[in-house]
Structure 1
Amino acid sequence: MIFKVFFQENYTQAPVRERTNSLYIEAESVSDVRAKLIEHPYNIEYITPLTGSFLEYEQQRDGYKVVNG
């Protein structure tokens, strides 16, 4: 399953919408996503699974690229 992760680059940064980044990652569950990203200093705000038309919409965006934890 593909998940979209909203995060800040630095764990010490307070969440600010203008500095929020996102990435797409393939994982089995939300806890699997967190485990794959544990080595990165990200301040994860939100993780959402992408399925159906939501996934199709995201795949059409220019920034769509699935990363490997």
Structure 2
Amino acid sequence: MIFKVFYQKNFTEVPVRENTSAMFVEAESEREVRKKLADKGINIEFIQLVSEDLLAFEKSKEDFKVESL
């Protein structure tokens, strides 16, 4: 399964919507995503399971990539 992770790059700062980034991670569960990202020092805001329709849309973008962790 592929998850879309919304996060802030700096864990120590207050989250600001304009600074939110997103990445795609392949994992079996949300818990596994959190384990894989635990040592990255990022502030995870939300993790979303990506549906087939959303995945097809995201793949059409030229900057789409799934993080290998």
TM-score (norm 1): 0.93
**Length, aligned pairs only:** 69
What 5-or-longer segments of structure 2 have no aligned partner? none
Within 1, Cα distance between the matches of 2:52 and 2:21?
23
Corresponding position of 2:56: 56
Alpha-carbon distance in structure 2 between the residues aligned to 1:63 and 1:8: 19
SS in 2 for 1:39: helix
Please give the secondary structure, in 2, of the residue aligned with 1:37. helix
Q: For the residues of structure 2 that align with 1:16 and 1:60, how far apart are their CA atoms? A: 28
Coordinate RMSD, CA, aligned: 0.9
> What amino acid is aligned across from residue 62 of structure 2 in structure 1?
D
**Which segments of structure 1 move beyond 2 Å, counting only runs of 4 or more?**
none
What corresponds to 1:35 in structure 2? 35
Instruction: Provide structure 1 residue ranges, at least 5 long, that are not aligned to the other structure.
Output: none
Q: Deviations over 1:5-43 (max 9, x none)?
A: 000001112111111111001000000000000110000
Where 2:4 maps in the other structure, the secondary structure is strand
Q: TM-score with structure 2 length normalisation?
A: 0.93
Q: In the TM superposition, what is the alpha-carbon distance from 1:62 to its structure 2 partner? A: 2.4
